Amino acid sequence: MAKETAAPGAEQIGLLYDATLCIGCLECVRACKTDHDLPPEITPDLSATTYTVVEKKGEQYIRRLCMHCIDPTCVSVCPVAALTKEPGGQVTYDWSACMGCRYCVMACPFNIPRYEWHSYNPRVQKCDLCIHRTSKGGETACSWICPTGATQSGPREELLAIARKRIEDHPDRYVPHIYGEKEVGGTGVLVLSGVPFEEVGYDTDVIANAVPALTWKVMKKIPYVIVNGAIVRGGLAWIINRRKDVERNPEAVDDRKKPSGKEGGEE
Ligand code: SF4
Ligand code: SF4
Ligand code: SF4
């Protein structure tokens, strides 16, 4: 049901984040906010108003943002094609098509999309790989501002070659793993680290294969009409009830992993 899929062989835009070069200045986070007209407050975790975060993990900083999967689960599970894999590889979201089912939020293997729980017209929010820039050949706001070159953007194949060469030239500095080269079938965002990825909060158990293939193995067994009818009814009922809840009690936020106070939801 994806609206559009990158044509085979089309150049996938990517982003390389080298954690060993990152000084934690947060310029990337600020530039992202300015460029996307988001409020300047930086939330500690990803939120509906913070599309990327930089965390200190031991002696190293680490960034998180949408991985722009080559075969994105969020796109494949969306019943109304509100998420799109663009020809350049950016995974984007169309609010006007979204019915608020949050399948994308639940399906993302990297726990990235956030939902505007407080809004009367809630949207799913996440990094869009600066499509307004990268679709015209420009670089992302976060790579443009980065003072150390820790974040850079460009064609994924070129970034992969850079990452491989860095590991080859400096085996003492990097763990021999380019995160995103193979995870979930490959991602547009690639990460280098000087310490094992599991120590900086990156899931190394995430499956190697593209998740959508597995998703559809299950979903295609359910008749299309039943699935869509149920989803539309469920989604509409959820939106109506949610808006009533917010009207009655604006503080009643129902984050998807609220007990930990860390995952999901707006800040
Ligand atoms: S990281 Fe999650 S939100 Fe981003 S493209 Fe992949 S599945 Fe979609
Ligand atoms: S690529 Fe663009 S939208 Fe994504 S984190 Fe960087 S500045 Fe923000
Ligand atoms: S701008 Fe560059 S150096 Fe600064 S926190 Fe972001 S990635 Fe790290």
pLDDT at 128: 98
Q: Which of 42, 250, 52 is nearest to 151 (CA)?
A: 52
**Nearest atom in ligand 2 to 129's CA:** 1
Residues 6 or more apart whose Cβ sits within 8 Å of residue 109 = 69, 73, 184, 203, 206, 207, 211
Given pLDDT bands bounded at 50, 70 and 90, which one contains residue 255?
Answer: very low
Shortest-distance Cα residue to atom 7 of ligand 1: 108
pTM to 2 decimals?
Answer: 0.81
Q: Is the CB of 110 under 6 A from ligand 1?
A: yes
Query: The tokens of 73 are what?
Result: 């689960």
- Integer CA distances (angstroms), 198 to 192, 206, 258, in order: 13, 11, 23
Q: What is the DSSP letter of 137?
A: T
- Domains of the chain by start residue, with CATH: 23-153+210-244 (3.30.70.20)
**185, exposed or middle or buried, with CB in 10 Å at 0-12, 13-18, 19+?**
middle
SS3 14: strand
**Nearest atom in ligand 1 to 68's CA:** 5
Shortest-distance Cα residue to atom 7 of ligand 2: 32
Number of other residues whose CB lies within 10 A of the CB of residue 75? 24
Express each pLDDT in 22-42 by its tens digit. Answer: 999 999 999 999 999 999 999
Shortest-distance Cα residue to atom 8 of ligand 2: 32
Mean residue pLDDT across the chain: 83
Q: Letter for the amino acid at 132?
A: H
Is the pLDDT at 220 greater than 80? The verdict is no
Q: Which residues of 206-219 are buried (b: 16+ CB within 10 A; e: fewer)?
A: eeeebbbeeeeeee
Q: Angle CA(56)–CA(60)–CA(62) in degrees, nearest 5?
A: 60
Q: How far is the CA of 26 from the centre of ligand 2 (A)?
A: 12
